[in-house]
Amino acid sequence: MFDGFDFSKMGAMFEEAQKKAQELQEESKNKTFSAKSGGGLVSASANGNGEIIDITIDDSLLSDKDSMQILLISSINDVLKMVEEDRNLLASKMLGSFSGR
């Protein structure tokens, strides 16, 4: 099963994988994701860490609290899904670099 595998190189492989993971996490952290709802009446932005960094609400919604809440929830959920998809992509890249692909 492990024929031809040089176990003495495992430490270097783990170091390289850790370095690559840190680079990819830094790259992801600096990304910004944005989602809109209600035809652009509400938008939410998040960074790669999943932190909401900006929300904009059209003035026309200020008198309609229920609609504003629904659209806020929608845009925040959408932007957090984008962040999660990016994290999954990051995990795939890390696994790919670890396996030598």
What is the pLDDT at residue 17? 74
Q: Inform me whether the pLDDT recorded for 14 exceeds 90.
A: no
Rounded to two decimals, the pTM is 0.73
Query: Would you state the pLDDT for residue 71?
Result: 98
Percentage of the chain beyond pLDDT 70 is 87
pLDDT tens-place string over residues 63-101: 999 999 999 999 999 999 999 999 888 888 777 765 554
pLDDT for the residue 41: 98
- What's the CATH number of domain 29-98, 1.10.10.10, 3.40.1350.10, 3.20.20.370, 3.30.1310.10? 3.30.1310.10
Q: Which residues pair with 32 in a beta bridge?
A: 47
Please, where are the H alpha helices in 4-64? 10-29
The CB-side HSE value for 14 (13 A sphere, CA atoms) comes to: 5
